[in-house]
Each structure stands twice: as C-alpha cells, then as structure tokens.
Structure 1
C-alpha cells in the first residue's frame, strides 16, 4: 500500500512539473510537436529516416519556442490585435495605419534582459519536455528509461521549480505569437472590459 501511495505521489509530481513547464511555452508549438512526434518517431520504433525527421522537428520547434519569446502584440485604438517583433528600438512592424496607433507607446516594447532570459529558459524547458517524451526516449536512447527512471521523474518538477523562480524574478508580460492573449483571458475571468497593455519586461 505504501509503495502504491509513493508511486502515485511521484507520478503526481511528475505531471505537475510537466504542467508547469508547458505553461511557459507557446501552445501552438507544443501542440505541433506532440501531434507530429509520435508519427515521425513511429511511436518509438525508429528507423534512421524516423530519427532524421524527428531531429528536424525537434530543432524547428525549439527554434520556434526561442523566437516566439521575442514576439509581442498590441491592440490599436479600434481594438484590432497586431503582432510583431520586439526590437532594441521598440516594436516592428507597427500598424500600417499610423493614425490607429497614436496612443501606443512603443518604447515600452523594447527588448530587455528579461526577454533573453525567457528565451533561453523556454528553450531549456522545451528540450526537457521533448527529450523526456516516451517516444523520443524509445527512439534515441531506449536504455535510458530503465536506467535513469528516477531522473526522468525528478527532472520536470525540478526544472519547473527553477523556471517558476526565474519567471517570478523576471515576470513575462509579452503575449506574442503562440501565447494566450492576456487581455482576453483577464477580461473573461473578471467579467470586465479590455485592459490597456502593461509595460513590457
């Protein structure tokens, strides 16, 4: 009975850690990877071709997680949502209609130290999730699952705790491509209208 309770507790910690990690990544990229990975790895029964395509998927999704951190969005005076890339000077591109963005202070969208920390951390989080995926493990290093089972269970909660600490110190306020719209979620949860964009970090 005690062993079953311990096993359930470990599994719960693992899934909690995975859930915390996934929230730090662009949902579209995570869904794309989780959808294609079982197909490209042939559910873990890999050939050389499977390994090549799976590696390409891993590289592209990792690049997407890194790049998405530098994207952001804003709403113009008409309530239209615009996406772009944060730069050292502000935001690019802005709306094609300058008159619709006169109330937006694009200087608050400049790249800062926190953006690079978020990008690096997002890449690490994605690597942990994807490299510990059961299909990836069976495909590339099948002996790892049996020899390093404790590590596989402990790593996601540990990385999740570290990531949570870093994101508390450097809160992520950007809502770029692939991330949920903060204004929409805030409005639906509070029942209030749209909020003005907060200064970016």
Structure 2
C-alpha cells in the first residue's frame, strides 16, 4: 500500500513539475520558499493568513506580468528589457524600431493560463490548504491525481495554439532582427 502511495506521489510531483515549467521560475521559487514560513507550516493564525494571502497575490501578479515583458539585444550586443504595449516595447529605443514587440492576443492568453497554473500550484500546496481550507485535505488526494494532468493538457494545448515568442525579464534575449541578419550575412562571406 505504501509503495502505491509513493508511486502516486511521484506521478503527482512529476505532473506538478511539468506545470511549473509554464511559470516564471523565480516566482514559483519565491512562493515555495516563503509560503511555509508565512503559513507557519499550515498552522495559521489570522496574521499568517494575511501574509500568505499577500504572497499569493504578489506571486500571481508576477506570473501575469511576466507574460508582458520582453527583451532584445541591440546592435552592440547590449540586452534591453521592457514591457509590451500597443505601440511596441516600453521604454523604447529611439534608434531601433520596436513595433514588432507590440501586445498580442496571445500575451493575454499566456497571462491567464499562467495565472491558472499558478492557482493550481497554490491550491495543491499542503501548507496553503491546511491554512485556508483545513477540511479540504481529504479531497486534495483526488485533486492531486486529476487536476495537474487536466490543467497541464489544457494549458499545453493552448500554449501550442498561442506560442510565446517573448523573452521576458530573466530569460536570455534574442538578437534583434537587424543584428541577426547582419551576423548571418557576415558569416556567409567568411
């Protein structure tokens, strides 16, 4: 019996690990690191609930906000970071056309599904469950088996339909189109 529980737990953690790949790593790490401290390992008092709630809101905002950030390398190889707007990347460079970095419908889809995936991570965190919904633990085992694969499959399908081409803050930026075409033509001449 304990062997089957270990197998179920292993599959569950593998599923959660696959879901976490869809989220900003720093945000998830911050939540996983601070949540046990702020929830007092699930033994919450009122102040713990407020602090943990603030952490959840800040982390959820970070997951959504990351969907709207992007970066690029200029002709000198310097990385620049910004926020996608209707006109392009902000703050914008006057020397380069950044209109290709405009907001797209897919950015909002990614933000929504990043929020959903993060909500699943929060709802399945034992400290959060013990703190906010102590009677939920019996149902949690069913959710541990069903929710990650369902949300993972749904999110994966949506992310395939709306591929993310953004290189947000904290991710390696891609060379701008003008510098990459220049480097490929110069390497062809060599």
Deviations 1:87-111 (A, max 9, x none): 111111124xx44x4xxx4122111
Structure 1: runs of 5 or more not aligned: 185-193, 197-201
Deviations 1:114-173 (A, max 9, x none): 111000001111111012101101111122112341112321121111111111111111
* 1:80–1:182 distance in 2 versus 1, CA, 3 Å: closer
* 1:39–1:195 distance in 2 versus 1, CA, 3 Å: farther
Equivalence for 2:129: 137
Structure 2: runs of 5 or more not aligned: 182-190
Equivalence for 1:188: none
1:144-159 counterparts in 2 under 5 A?
144-159=136-151
Q: Is the 8 A contact 1:33 1:61 kept in 2?
A: yes
Q: How big is the shift at 1:182? A: 5.9
Equivalence for 1:170: 162
The answer to whether residue 102 in structure 2 is matched with residue 128 in structure 1 is: no
Q: Is the 8 A contact 2:71 2:80 kept in 1?
A: yes
Equivalence for 1:17: 15
Equivalence for 1:187: none
Which residue of 181, 187, 192 corresponds with 2:172? 181
* 1:129–1:177 distance in 2 versus 1, CA, 3 Å: same
Which residue of 25, 40, 45 corresponds with 1:47? 45
Q: Distance in 2 between matches of 1:183 and 1:14?
A: 34
The answer to whether residue 105 in structure 2 is matched with residue 107 in structure 1 is: no
Equivalence for 1:75: 73
Q: How big is the shift at 1:7? A: 3.4
Q: Secondary structure at the match of 2:59?
A: helix
Equivalence for 1:7: 5
Equivalence for 2:56: 58
Q: Please give the TM-score of this superposition, normalised by the length of structure 1.
A: 0.81
* 1:21–1:147 distance in 2 versus 1, CA, 3 Å: closer
Moved over 4 A (4+): 3-6
Equivalence for 1:88: 86
Q: Secondary structure at the match of 2:83?
A: strand
The answer to whether residue 111 in structure 2 is matched with residue 119 in structure 1 is: yes
